Structures are given as structure tokens and as C-alpha cells.
């Protein structure tokens, strides 16, 4: 439960930092949520960050399955419950677990991994279904 609260807090705080604007935001689909945290090898390297962001945005623009698409960065926080150790977060929603499975195998997703996996040291994924 603590992880879910932290993820929700991070989502809310990062939405003003590097998320979609109101015109681009699609309605949140509560059927299936896919939250990914990335730790880049060289988080202070502007070229690596630009390459990662470009590849990630290209992938999301071409995904046929992801509905809500949010990219975030950790906010500055002094609260002990906030984990700001990651470089980027990605929160996607899907209409079903089956759609999320199809997303895993789609060409844009595989291309993103091929282009960007050399840039990260760690990736953690939290998938959730609605209650």
C-alpha cells in the first residue's frame, strides 16, 4: 500500500514538471495501469537525456495500445516518503490486460527498448488493475 501511495504522490507532483498538457491528456482508463521507473546511467548527461526523451516520445506517439501517456521526472521534495532516486517515470493506461500484453510486443515498444536500453541501469515496473 505504501508503494501505491508513493506512486500516486509522485504522479501528482510530477504532472506539472514534464507531463502532458490539458489539450493532450486523454481520459484515464482505470482498467489497467502500467507504471515504469527508469534510472539512467548518466542522469546528468544532457545528450543521454535528450536521446532517451526523443526515443520515448517517438514510441508513445506511435503506440497503438497505450491510452493515457504520462512522462515525469522526480520533484524536489524533503519528505521521507518520496523516492526521488529515479530519472524518469512513465505512466500508461490500457483498456485491458490483453491490450497491455499487445503493447509489449508492438514494434514501437521494441524499437524504444533497442534504442534506449544502453542508457539505463535499472528499470522497475508496477502494473495494477482496478478494484
Give pLDDT, residue 6: 44
Task: State the burial class of residue 47 (Cβ atoms within 10 Å of its Cβ: 0-12, 13-18, 19+).
Answer: exposed
- Domains, the chain: 2-129 (3.30.70.100)
**Residue 29: which pLDDT band, with cuts at 50, 70 and 90?**
low
**Which contiguous run of DSSP H or E holds residue 78?**
none
pTM as predicted:
0.77
pLDDT in tens, 54-76: 999 999 999 999 888 999 999 88
Amino acid at each position: 500500500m505504501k508503494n501505491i501511495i508513493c506512486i500516486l504522490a509522485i504522479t501528482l507532483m510530477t504532472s506539472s514538471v514534464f507531463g502532458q498538457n490539458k489539450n493532450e491528456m486523454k481520459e484515464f482508463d482505470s482498467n489497467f495501469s502500467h507504471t515504469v521507473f527508469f534510472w539512467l546511467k548518466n542522469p546528468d548527461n544532457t545528450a543521454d537525456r535528450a536521446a532517451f526523451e526523443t526515443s520515448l516520445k517517438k514510441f508513445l506517439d506511435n503506440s497503438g495500445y497505450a491510452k493515457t501517456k504520462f512522462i515525469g521526472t522526480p520533484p524536489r521534495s524533503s519528505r521521507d516518503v518520496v523516492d526521488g532516486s529515479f530519472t524518469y517515470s512513465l505512466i500508461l493506461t490500457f483498456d485491458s490486460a490483453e491490450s497491455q500484453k499487445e503493447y509489449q510486443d508492438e514494434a514501437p515498444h521494441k524499437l524504444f527498448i533497442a534504442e534506449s536500453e544502453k542508457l539505463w541501469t535499472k528499470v522497475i515496473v508496477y502494473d495494477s488493475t482496478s478494484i
